[in-house]
Amino acid sequence: MPLSEHEQRMLEQMERALYAEDPKFASALEGNGLRTYTRRRVYQAVAGFLVGIALLMAGMVAQLIWISVVGFLVMLGCAVLAVTGWRKAPKPGEQPPAVRQARPKRSVMDRIEQRWQRRRDEQGH
């Protein structure tokens, strides 16, 4: 069940007030998070790769093959994550296609509306 016109107007007023009061916070909610998310994922994968190297070396020093195998598998998995994350990351100054097509001010409203609808559906209304 979509929001009534009154509810939509109220939400739009709240959104405008949020933009007027704290534009930095409002823009953070808009969804420029894809580049940040992929960058964070790549950094985590690099850190995991280094942990894998440490496990591989520790297994070799302790002469425990299974630790070396686990270290190698961690390295392999993290390398795959880093490469796929790097390819998916948009270039600096470039927006992902989904953000480019959507109106930025509506993205917050769409998420609020979806959450509202989901809550109403869960309550059985």
Note the pLDDT tens digit of each residue in 94-110.
555 544 444 445 678 78
Displacement of CA 1 from its chain's centroid (Å): 28
Q: Strand, coil or helix: what is 102?
A: coil
Q: What is the pTM of this model?
A: 0.45
Give the residue from 55, 85, 58, 57 showing the smallest Cα distance to 73.
55
If one counts every other C-beta atom within 10 angstroms of the C-beta of residue 117, the result is: 13
Tokens standing for residue 69: 């195998």
> Which has the higher per-residue pLDDT, 21 or 86?
21
Per-residue pLDDT tens over the stretch 24-41: 766 666 655 556 677 778
Percent of the chain predicted with pLDDT > 70: 70
Tokens standing for residue 59: 């297994």
